[in-house]
């Protein structure tokens, strides 16, 4: 459903995947999907967005990955 809603925006980018090149969109997509692919996308974004660290903490708490 989300991808369907974003399709018009994705078509404006010349042949590229909207989420591969736009870090903020990838970050928000993980957040709005309740952490889906969180460990794939969030770690590389730690230096770009301060809230990424908090979202990684939330992800780990939800997935019982806390030591």
**Distances in whole angstroms, Cα of residue 55 to Cα of each of 5, 12, 26, 46:** 24, 29, 13, 10
The string of pLDDT tens digits covering residues 19-57 is 666 888 888 888 888 888 888 888 988 888 889 999 888
Question: What is the pLDDT confidence band of residue 14, given thresholds at 50, 70 and 90?
Answer: low
Domain ranges in the chain are: 2-62
Distance in angstroms (rounded) separating the CA atoms of residues 26 and 22: 6
> Model-level pTM?
0.62
Distance in angstroms (rounded) separating the CA atoms of residues 52 and 29: 12
């Amino acid at each position: 459903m989300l991808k369907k809603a974003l399709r018009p925006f994705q078509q404006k980018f010349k042949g590229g995947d909207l989420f591969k090149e736009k870090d903020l969109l990838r970050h928000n997509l993980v957040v709005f999907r309740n952490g889906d692919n969180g460990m794939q996308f969030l770690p590389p974004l730690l230096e770009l967005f301060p809230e990424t660290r908090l979202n990684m903490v939330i992800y780990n708490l939800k997935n019982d990955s806390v030591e």
